[in-house]
A and B are shown apart, each in its own frame.
Chain A
Amino acid sequence: MSRRAVLGALAAGGVGFALFGPRGGRARYPGKIVLDYWEKWTQHEGAAMQRVVDAFNASQSRIHVRYIVTSAIGQKAMIAIAGGSPPDVIGLYAFDIPPYAESRAILPLDELAPRFGVTLERYKAGLRPIMTHDVSGSPERFWGIVNTAGTVAMYYRRDLLREIGRDPDQPPRTIAELDECHRLLTKVSSAGEIERVGFLHCEPGWWNWLWPASFGGRVYDPASRKATIDSPACLAAYQWMQSYPRALGARRVGEFFDRFRTSIFSPRNSFMAGQVAMHVQGPWMANMIGQFGPGTDYGVCPVPTVSGTDEASPVGLIDTDVLVIPRGARNPEASMEFIAFTQRPDMVKQLAQDHCKINPLIEPDEEFERTHRNRGIRVHNAIASSSGAFVAPPTRAWRQYRDAVDSSVQRMWRLESEAAVELPRLNQQAQGFIDRSVDEHRRRHGLALGAASGAGDRGRA
């Protein structure tokens, strides 16, 4: 019977907790417009954004914004918008703009944003293509506002370059120099185990479609809406990538990589542990170094290219976070008011400093760069204004295309497939995704999709 008593007590406790337990709810701010702002950031990045939100809440008395962390935000946002219960502001990724804009899951900002003083002209040139997207049959093209931005550059260990007799202020500028440094930096033990690699393409493996740019290639042509990852330049890029596992042994390099693949955010990060001397990363790398490997002697330079880095227009990928207002948001004006507040130069710069990212605004950068924790922030900032900058292909099919690139690159990296064979196959698959989305849009709206006349395509793929 005592067992039954315990069960009864448990049940009573459970029901009591269900009835009187903690509540979420928006009831705590009577008389105010309460806005839900979904964002992906947690920990120190989340805390930094929370400070911006707090500043906004303190700056006026009509609106209260709740900062809500949401994981897998792209899916969650889509499910919520389609389900008719969206939040008021969402922090998405840059590549989410085309699919969200084309299906009208987000509100156009062409009219709304300028009224609150947020205009495209305030942002660095390379970022504007991200904020705009041409959708056929709609005059609107302004969909999201860059919140924080990063550009991808190469991080190298200055101490290790010195070790092989190279001036750490003269990092490799051409692919040939990169190859040479890689060769000199790589160490294999007498037992045949890799101890250190000069350059590793798949660390961290977040931008597998990055390499064609270094060979003058692009993976997508927006004018003709063609996948171009089978072009000669792309082929050269991936053949170059394959030359690395070919020289080191695919199996060995795979084992080497697997050792720290899950340790990116830890002191065992391969770069800080000195096992990978050069790899690509965003400006937040300085934060990671500060947290997990303080004292790591790093340098930053643009990703080398075949013809050599051009200081005036370095080549580089721009990857950003964007703020959007979802369809069905209860009070778009209030949402926009909040977004506009976050775009005040002081707010933008503070957030960029806290996140260790670049300054997205056209502003004098000297002070920003002087106080920035990333000693290579100048390199990252320059890419955002460079004519060599590029962003994710502006197609709704990119998500699928990119996932397909990821699995193809894994195959090529393990030498299970030759680039000359893999790329045409991949291109055909990607073209299938693109054609399907274009065809569907045409059947639905009877119009050609975003004839590529827009000036917004400058700097785009």
Chain B
Amino acid sequence: MLSSRLSRALFRTLMVLAAAMFLLPLLWMLNTSTLSEQQAASGQVLVAPGGLGQTAARVAENYRRVWTDEAVNFPLYLRNTLIVAALSVVGMTLSSAVVAYGLARIEFKGRGAVFALVLATMMIPFPVIMAPLYLAFRELGWIGTLLPLWVPAWFGGAFNIFLLRQFYRTIPRELDEAARIDGLGHVGIFLRIILPLSKPALAVVALFHFIYVWNDFLGPLIFLTHRDQYTLALGLQMYQSQAGLTPWNLLMAASAMVIAPILILFMLTQRTFVQGAATEGLKE
């Protein structure tokens, strides 16, 4: 009995260590962002050297320097990112919900084919369409604007449509029938029944799309030309690539600033997150 309890404790310790390995890089980053340039480059592992007061002063100094950097305008990039995120999250959630309704609740000829097409497009790698997409946006005069980053979201995304369709199929059909007897059409059913019942799934779509926008790098890299339009991901890369002169403590502070909102969001919506991530593995 004792040995089994011992092995259990050992096993738990091992698991905690394994999990800690995943968080260690982030803690290391956070710690570096609280050091002075010399301390970060000192070759020693320092945690809050000089006491809490000095550490707090250094934190304030580092983050202030990043936030007010002359060449890399983080406040502006945050604003741009939020604009793109807001517009495309709303568009993505709404349009995916509509299309998924069509695929889940309406019988029509060719539905199977459309659904197969939706699934198949998940395989198309972005590089395949990157160049012609750039040229198409050029024809539209959208290069150098934020439009290419959020307009496509208003036409739905394959994965989100798939996810919502799966969810809708779990909503009992009888509800539709009852609503139809009450004289509701598809729009009514969609608005009064399906949407309210699928809130959790819609939250997953919105959340994941928000993260996607926040993280997207290749899109902004190609479609944005002017520094005033940069998003955070692009700005962070620019901050890093200035001639290799940026000190590590500031680089880590900048990275932490970009990561923090996502982590806060995660803390607040952990359950939705994990459910959403898990549905990604769903297959029929």
Which residues of A in the span 1-42 have a Cβ within 8 Å of any Cβ on B? 3, 6-7, 10, 14-15, 17-18, 21-25, 36, 42
Candidates B79, B137, B145, B228; contact of A21 at CB < 8 Å: B79
Report the contact-size class of chain A (Cβ under 8 Å from the partner).
35 or more
Q: Is A116 an interface residue (CB 8 A)?
A: no
CA distance A264 to B245 in the complex (A): 9
Residues of chain B within 8 A of A400, CB atoms compared: none
User: Are the CB atoms of B144 and A21 closer together than 8 Å?
Assistant: no
Contact with A along B199-224 (1 / 0, CB 8 A): 00000000000000000000000100
CA distance A36 to B244 in the complex (A): 25
User: Are the CB atoms of A24 and B143 closer together than 8 Å?
Assistant: no
User: Are the CB atoms of B76 and A83 closer together than 8 Å?
Assistant: no
CA distance A84 to B138 in the complex (A): 7
Residues of chain A within 8 A of B228, CB atoms compared: 24-25
Q: Is A82 an interface residue (CB 8 A)?
A: yes
CA distance A210 to B82 in the complex (A): 48
User: Are the CB atoms of A17 and B82 closer together than 8 Å?
Assistant: yes
Candidates B72, B86, B138; contact of A83 at CB < 8 Å: B138
Contact with A along B123-145 (1 / 0, CB 8 A): 00000000000100110010111
User: Are the CB atoms of B225 and A79 closer together than 8 Å?
Assistant: yes
Q: Is A247 an interface residue (CB 8 A)?
A: no
User: Are the CB atoms of B143 and A83 closer together than 8 Å?
Assistant: yes
Measured CB to CB, the closest approach of chain A to B150, in angstroms, equals 12
Q: Is A243 an interface residue (CB 8 A)?
A: no
Candidates A3, A24, A80; contact of B268 at CB < 8 Å: A3
Q: Which of the segments A63-71, A122-130, A407-415 contacts the partner chain?
A: A63-71
Q: Which residue of A lies closest to B229 (CB)?
A: A24
User: Are the CB atoms of A18 and B86 closer together than 8 Å?
Assistant: yes
User: Are the CB atoms of A21 and B76 closer together than 8 Å?
Assistant: yes
Q: Is B112 an interface residue (CB 8 A)?
A: no
User: Are the CB atoms of A84 and B71 closer together than 8 Å?
Assistant: no
Residues of chain B within 8 A of A15, CB atoms compared: 82, 86
User: Are the CB atoms of B242 and A71 closer together than 8 Å?
Assistant: yes
Given contacts A43-B243, A46-B71, A264-B244, contact A79 B222 (CB under 8 A): yes
User: Are the CB atoms of A80 and B243 closer together than 8 Å?
Assistant: no
Given contacts A46-B71, A80-B144, A83-B144, contact A10 B86 (CB under 8 A): no
Measured CB to CB, the closest approach of chain B to A13, in angstroms, equals 9
User: Are the CB atoms of A7 and B143 closer together than 8 Å?
Assistant: no
Q: Which residue of B lies closest to A7 (CB)?
A: B268
Residues of chain B within 8 A of A24, CB atoms compared: 73, 76, 226-229
User: Are the CB atoms of A17 and B79 closer together than 8 Å?
Assistant: yes
CA distance A79 to B264 in the complex (A): 35
Q: Which residue of A lies closest to B69 (CB)?
A: A42
Q: Is B259 an interface residue (CB 8 A)?
A: no
Q: Which residue of B lies closest to A6 (CB)?
A: B268
Candidates A6, A42, A76; contact of B225 at CB < 8 Å: A76
Given contacts A79-B143, A84-B141, A265-B244, contact A22 B82 (CB under 8 A): no
Q: Which residue of A lies closest to B85 (CB)?
A: A14
Measured CB to CB, the closest approach of chain A to B41, in angstroms, equals 8
Residues of chain B within 8 A of A331, CB atoms compared: none
The interface centre, meaning the residue of B41, B72, B225, B243 with most chain A CB atoms within 10 A of its CB, is: B225
Q: Which residue of B lies closest to A3 (CB)?
A: B268
Q: Is B179 an interface residue (CB 8 A)?
A: no
Candidates A6, A23, A72, A82; contact of B138 at CB < 8 Å: A82
The interface centre, meaning the residue of A6, A24, A72 with most chain B CB atoms within 10 A of its CB, is: A24
Measured CB to CB, the closest approach of chain B to A73, in angstroms, equals 11
Candidates A3, A22, A42, A83; contact of B245 at CB < 8 Å: A42
Q: Is B269 an interface residue (CB 8 A)?
A: yes
Given contacts A42-B243, A43-B243, A265-B244, contact A7 B269 (CB under 8 A): yes
Which residues of A in the span 80-139 have a Cβ within 8 Å of any Cβ on B? 80, 82-87
Q: What are 12 pairs between A and B in contact, CB < 8 Å? A: A3-B268, A7-B268, A21-B82, A22-B76, A24-B226, A24-B227, A24-B229, A46-B71, A79-B222, A84-B138, A262-B244, A266-B41
| Beyond A3-B268, A18-B86, 8 additional pairs, beta carbon < 8 A | A7-B268, A21-B75, A23-B76, A79-B134, A80-B226, A83-B138, A264-B244, A265-B243
B residues at A contact (CB < 8 Å):
41, 71-73, 75-76, 78-79, 82-83, 85-86, 134, 137-138, 141, 143-145, 222, 225-229, 237-238, 241-245, 264-265, 268-269
- Closest CB pairs A-B (n = 3): A24-B228, A83-B143, A85-B144
A residues at B contact (CB < 8 Å):
3, 6-7, 10, 14-15, 17-18, 21-25, 36, 42-43, 46, 68-72, 76, 79-80, 82-87, 262, 264-266
